[in-house]
Amino acid sequence: MLKSFQLLPVFLICSVLCFSQQSIVDRGLIVFERKVNTYAVLPDFLKGSELVSPDALPTYLQRYRQEHPQFWVDSFQLIFNKDSTLYQPVGSISPFLHGTGVPMADKNRVFSSLSTNQFFAEKNAYNESRIIQDSLVKIRWKLTDETRDIGGFECRRANGLVYDSIYIVAFYTDAIMTKGGPEGFHGLPGMILGLALPHYHISYFATRIDPKHYIGNSIYAAFSNHPKGIKQVDFFSEMINYLKNKKLDNDWMKSFIRL
């Protein structure tokens, strides 16, 4: 009996250390894979556009399926510390929807200051760069009891609503303290490692997590030399007017440029 009690403090110390190691991750690097199901997206994306005539659309979609993979896949990295995140492309980005349509917001680079509730974003707009500076978007979250493993981290599911109409599903871990995620998604009790927009066939999932990646004292320097940006609502209005002229102001595109 004495030996059992002697082993108990050692067990408790080990348990505390393991818990602490899982709870104090406050900096690192995460690589996300962004996937868009183009087979599901393209019919609505092209309908009514000037890119393909209605008569030619069935033949175009059939040829597209023969020549292109189902998913448009690209990689982004999220560098983070306790209260800031920097989300940016890794390497070159594939042509927009495999070369379909006008490139818009496909190469997003987003700095989020979680402590000040502000973000800077550099977005592609018809092959030009736009800088947006605004408050972080409000997301209404509802936590669930569903869990799944992502990259060795137990993640809990949350359902959310952004811009009052875009439904999102996220999986976050409180083992990473930073309350951020891919693009500008944020606001859960830990890091978002998986996120999907089911109605728009877009998903982001972590493929590599490096909690030892050193990022220095601040990642704000990435945007420190940029001029003051426009508001998100002004960027959105500008893009919608452009898309209307191209007859591409469909629901999917409207949602994609707001990410």
Residue 8 has pLDDT above 80, yes or no: no
Q: Tell me the pLDDT band of 23, cut-offs 50, 70 and 90.
A: low
Residue 134 has pLDDT above 80, yes or no: yes
Mean pLDDT (whole number) for 82-95: 91
Dump pLDDT digits (tens) for 145-196.
999 999 999 999 999 999 989 999 999 999 999 999 999 999 999 999 999 9
Which has more pLDDT, 82 or 31?
Answer: 31
* pLDDT attached to residue 218: 54
* pLDDT attached to residue 220: 61
Question: What does each C-alpha distance from 97 to 67, 68, 109, 209 come to in angstroms?
Answer: 13, 10, 18, 27
Q: Tell me the pLDDT band of 19, cut-offs 50, 70 and 90.
A: very low
* pLDDT attached to residue 103: 85
* pLDDT attached to residue 13: 34
Instruction: Please count the other Cβ atoms lying within 10 Å of the Cβ belonging to residue 115.
Output: 9
Distance CA 258, CA 181 (A): 15
DSSP string, 185-230: ---SSSEEEEEEEGGGTEEEEEEEEETT----S-SGGGGTTSPPPB
* pLDDT attached to residue 25: 86
User: How is the chain split among helix, strand and coil, in percent rounded to 5?
Assistant: 30, 35, 35
Q: Tell me the pLDDT band of 5, cut-offs 50, 70 and 90.
A: very low
146 in Cβ contact with 156 (< 8 Å) = yes
Q: Tell me the pLDDT band of 92, cut-offs 50, 70 and 90.
A: confident
Question: What does each C-alpha distance from 158 to 36, 176, 192 come to in angstroms?
Answer: 21, 16, 10
Dump pLDDT digits (tens) for 31-70.
999 999 999 999 999 988 888 888 999 999 999 999 999 9
pTM recorded for the entire structure: 0.87
Distance CA 136, CA 187 (A): 9
